[in-house]
Amino acid sequence: MVKHNNVIPNGHFKKHWQNYVKTWFNQPARKTRRRLARQKKAVKIFPRPTAGPLRPIVHGQTLKYNMKLRAGRGFSLEELQVSMKACIALRRSINLVNLENEVLQTGREELAAGIPKKLAPTIGISVDHRRRNRSLEGLQTNVQRLKTYKAKLVVFPRRARKFKAGDSAPEELATATQVQGSYMPIVHEKPTVELVKVTSEMKSFKAYDKLRIERTNKRHVGARLKKAAEAEKEEKK
């Protein structure tokens, strides 16, 4: 007899299980099919990277995963504006000195405003207008990521013989190659523990008492402010 409130073992094995066995004999052929599909896709999207557009570095959700870094959906509008204020690197082929004054002013205003959100996907940068930057460190990290990407970016013209503002020079196009695999990977830095010598001040410090005192101060802050305001009001009378 089995223990506890469990079902008594009485297996039912009369279901012709041989007819329901799933095999994986097509796995080698699927491997070949996936490889050929990747090659066709690389030819189709040339000269774009095979790994897709650039993604931002974000932290995982919830308290359990918020210390882990991963790739996000897209860059926020604030990150694009901050990073593209020095947009001259992207538009290095523009000679602003030879332009008319009106065009020069509009060009500077556009450079100061940042990259347009409609332009970013066309140069391989993913955009997510819903994201909000809640920390300065995260904002600076993704801004630097965009600057590094811009420094390596080569923009091909839509038509081979018609170069427009923002396109790379012909010399750069001649040496450009398609990036295979992942690029600009997310580096997971392992935290290091710094050992310090325990001082007498550390030993004499009572952490629990300090926490209780601060907890009490937080609970009574409203009542104390109210009491101080009433006392000030009485003094004025």
pLDDT in tens, 121-145: 998 999 999 999 999 999 999 999 9
Which has the closest alpha carbon to 133: 74, 78, 61? 78
CA–CA separation, 15 vs 13, rounded Å? 6
Residues 171 and 215 in one domain: no
Domain assignment present for 100: yes
Confidence of residue 113 (pLDDT cuts 50, 70, 90): very low
Average pLDDT over residues 216-224: 96
Residue 231 lies in a domain: yes
pLDDT tens digit sequence for 142-201: 999 998 998 888 888 877 777 777 677 777 778 788 888 899 999 988 889 999 999 999
Q: Where in the sequence is the domain holding 231, given as residue range(s)?
A: 205-236
Do 166 and 71 share a domain, yes or no?
Answer: yes
Instruction: Work out the pLDDT band at 114, boundaries 50, 70, 90.
Output: low
CA distance 162 to 44: 21
Asked if residue 88 belongs to a domain, the reply is yes
Residues 142 and 227 in one domain: no
Residue 182 belongs to some domain of the structure: no
